[in-house]
Amino acid sequence: MTMALEVQGLTKVFRRRGKDPVVAVREIGLQVQPGEVVGLLGPNGAGKTTTIKCILGLMLATGGSVRVFGRDIARHRSDAAREMSAVLEGSRNIYWRMTAAENLGFFTLLHGVPRHEAQPYNHRLLEVFGLADRKDVSVQELSAGMRQKVAVACALATRASLVFLDEPTLGLDLETSHELRRLLRELAASEGRTIVLSSHDMAVVQDVCRRVVIMKEGRVVVDDSVANLLALFRTRAYRFALSDGCPDGLEQRLRERFTGVTMNPGRPFVVEVVLDRAEDLYAIIEVLRAAGVLIDTITQREPDLEEAFLRLMRGEGI
């Protein structure tokens, strides 16, 4: 089967006079199947935006190749461009002086979709995104959340098969973020589009994406399913409820030997810990016994992607 996206050895070096060159992306390889929804994670400056822009052709890569549905973007730019659309960083890439409906109309035409073909779907998107009754209001008069939705709708309206969303939920309140996630999930499921979504909000990625690619300093450090990644930590995340509280010095002793220790004072006193190896369970029970505390309950804690991400970034667990 043809891959929706095939990136090989992609490298981007920014050279500026009088400054050291910045290697933003180094030798990245990435394959995305049609219909996959992939989350792109990584700390600030990891190279997510640069990767996306190189794929889109907005930046010229220093090395490597990109194929979109089998077509090399350097050689078949127009064909590749037809398959792709994007929301780039926030709501900056729609026309604020035009209405939501006008923006959708403009960007579909720009993509080569005639008006009569675009209109029914544009209408539906406006409905689905809850913009229908404000579709004739100038975008600048809309709330930030609505603007963001217009930007996402514009990217989807072209019906491109491969959609890039660079931080689509940036600056949205929790409710709007949840709503946008639900919409993306539903659209991905019902239309089978391929989506690459970057975000700093782990909850968004955990919610929307099946697979996650984590970048750090220009490299891909993890490429796995969200489920696998969570499972990796699930088996090792434990929660001990101590019925008699926590004696002095226990916290320090735990921290010396184990990683990911969190203390939650209260009744009962709860100690959370992520064990590096399964055998460490014996060791921690030994430490607790030696400290003379009574263990009320032991439970396996549900880790979330955020914790998995933070630990991976600290170099733990891989």
Tokens of 121: 């779907």
47 touches, from Mg ion, other proteins, ligand ATP, none (C-beta below 5 to 8 Å by class): ligand ATP
Q: Using alpha carbons, list the distances in angstroms from residue 202 to 8, 189, 286.
A: 26, 20, 35
Nearer to ligand ATP, 45 or 130 (CB): 45
Report the b/e string of 164-174 with b at 16+ CB within 10 A.
bbbbbbbebee
Measured N-to-C along each axis, helices 226-234 and 305-313 cross at an angle, to the nearest 10 degrees, of 80
Identify the CA nearest to 171 among candidates 151, 196, 193, 195.
Answer: 151
Residue 57 makes contact with ligand ATP by CB under 6 A: no
Task: In angstroms, give the least distance from the CB of 21 to ligand ATP.
Answer: 9
Q: Would you say 131 and 153 are in contact if contact means Cβ atoms under 8 Å apart? A: yes
Task: In angstroms, give the least distance from the CB of 22 to other proteins.
Answer: 10
User: Which residue carries 């050689």 as its tokens?
Assistant: 75
Task: In angstroms, give the least distance from the CB of 42 to ligand ATP.
Answer: 5
Residue 121 makes contact with other proteins by CB under 8 A: no
Which of 5, 7, 38, 56 contacts other proteins by CB under 8 A? 56
Measured N-to-C along each axis, helices 115-128 and 144-157 cross at an angle, to the nearest 10 degrees, of 140
88 touches, from Mg ion, other proteins, ligand ATP, none (C-beta below 5 to 8 Å by class): other proteins
Residue 35 makes contact with ligand ATP by CB under 6 A: no
Residue 111 makes contact with ligand ATP by CB under 6 A: no
- What mask of x and - would describe binding to ligand ATP in positions 166 to 195, judged by CB under 6 A? ------------------------------
Nearer to other proteins, 92 or 210 (CB): 92
Residue 46 makes contact with ligand ATP by CB under 6 A: yes
- Max CA pair span of the chain: 76
Tokens of 155: 């990217």
- What mask of x and - would describe binding to Mg ion in positions 40 to 69, judged by CB under 5 A? --------xx--------------------
Residue 72 makes contact with other proteins by CB under 8 A: no
Q: What is the DSSP string of 70-132?
A: TEETTT-HHHHHHHEEEE-STTTTS-TTSBHHHHHHHHHHHTT--HHHHHHHHHHHHHHTT-G
304 touches, from other proteins, Mg ion, ligand ATP, none (C-beta below 5 to 8 Å by class): none
60 touches, from other proteins, ligand ATP, Mg ion, none (C-beta below 5 to 8 Å by class): other proteins
Nearer to Mg ion, 48 or 149 (CB): 48
Residue 28 makes contact with other proteins by CB under 8 A: no
**Size of site (CB under 6 A) for ligand ATP:** 11
Tokens of 279: 């055998």
Tokens of 239: 């929660």
The neighbour count for residue 283, using CB atoms within 10 Å, is: 13
Nearer to Mg ion, 30 or 284 (CB): 30
Binding site residues, Mg ion, CB under 5 A: 48-49
